[in-house]
A and B are shown apart, each in its own frame.
Chain A
C-alpha cells in the first residue's frame, strides 16, 4: 500500500471547518483513500473513502486532487466531539484476506472552544 504523510497535530476552533491534509504521492491507480478517526480509548471509526472524485457524507467531505497525490478531509463545522486522531490510509478496495489496514501516525486534531 502507498505511504501517506500527515501533519502530526492541528488545532481548530469550534464551529469552524477543519481541513486535514494528507499526502500520498505514490498512490496507485486502483488504490482508494480512506479516512478513519480514533477518539481517545476507542476503536477507529470509519469516516469516508474515495477513489478520484470528491465525496461527501453526513460526517465529512473528501477532496482528492486531480493527480490523486494528495487529499483533504473537511469537517465543515467542527465540534469538541471531533477531537481525535485522524488517519489517512491508502489501499486497494475489496475484501481479500490479508488486505489489512496499515495505520501511520495520523493527525491529532484538537478542537478548541
Chain B
C-alpha cells in the first residue's frame, strides 16, 4: 500500500528559529499533499493544500509567510515553520492523495518551541 514518510518525528527548537518538516511519498507519486496541525485533545485542522510545482493554498487564518510550503517534486513536500514561537508548538501531520483517490497520512511531527 501507499506509504508516507514524515521526518522528523519530533523536534525541539528555540523561539525565533525555523524548523523544516519533510513529507515523502515512498512508493507512489503524490501530486497533492495536505498539511494539518493538531493541538492537544483537538481534532486535525487543515493548514494548507500543496500541489506539485505550484503555490500552496492556505486555509483561512494560516499565515503563508510563517508556514512555508514547498512541493518541488512528486514525492516530497516540506513545511517550514519560520520564526517559531511557543504557540506554534503542535503536532503537524502531512497527508498525500494517492493515485487511486485515497489518503495516506504521515506519522506526524511533534514540534516543541521553547
Interface residues of A (CB under 8 A from B): 38, 41-46, 87, 93-95, 97-106
User: Do B51 and A100 touch across chains, with their CB atoms under 8 A apart?
Assistant: no
User: Do A43 and B107 touch across chains, with their CB atoms under 8 A apart?
Assistant: yes
Question: A28 CB to closest chain B CB, in angstroms?
Answer: 17
Task: Tell me the chain B residues, 15-69 only, with Cβ under 8 Å from chain A.
Answer: 31-32, 34, 36, 43-46, 49, 51, 57
Chain A to chain B contacts (Cβ below 8 Å), 7 pairs: A43-B93, A44-B44, A95-B100, A101-B103, A102-B46, A103-B36, A103-B45
Given A42-B108, A100-B49, also A93-B101 (CB < 8 A): yes
Compute how far the CA of A103 lies from the CA of B43 in the bound complex, rounded to whole angstroms.
Answer: 6
User: Do A45 and B105 touch across chains, with their CB atoms under 8 A apart?
Assistant: yes
User: Do A104 and B43 touch across chains, with their CB atoms under 8 A apart?
Assistant: yes
User: Do B99 and A95 touch across chains, with their CB atoms under 8 A apart?
Assistant: yes
User: Do A43 and B6 touch across chains, with their CB atoms under 8 A apart?
Assistant: yes
Interface residues of B (CB under 8 A from A): 4, 6, 31-32, 34, 36, 43-46, 49, 51, 57, 91, 93, 95, 97-108, 110
Summarize A's interface: helix, strand, loop or mixed. Answer: loop
Please, which residues of chain B bring their CB within 8 A of the CB of A87? 43
Please, which residues of chain B bring their CB within 8 A of the CB of A42? 107-108
User: Do B97 and A41 touch across chains, with their CB atoms under 8 A apart?
Assistant: no
User: Do B105 and A43 touch across chains, with their CB atoms under 8 A apart?
Assistant: yes
Given A97-B51, A100-B49, A103-B43, also A44-B93 (CB < 8 A): yes
Please, which residues of chain B bring their CB within 8 A of the CB of A99? 97
User: Do A46 and B51 touch across chains, with their CB atoms under 8 A apart?
Assistant: no
The 6 closest A-B pairs by CB, nearest first: A43-B105, A95-B101, A103-B44, A103-B43, A44-B105, A97-B32
Question: A91 CB to closest chain B CB, in angstroms?
Answer: 10
Compute how far the CA of A93 lies from the CA of B98 in the bound complex, rounded to whole angstroms.
Answer: 12
User: Do B43 and A46 touch across chains, with their CB atoms under 8 A apart?
Assistant: no
Compute how far the CA of A93 lies from the CA of B99 in the bound complex, rounded to whole angstroms.
Answer: 12
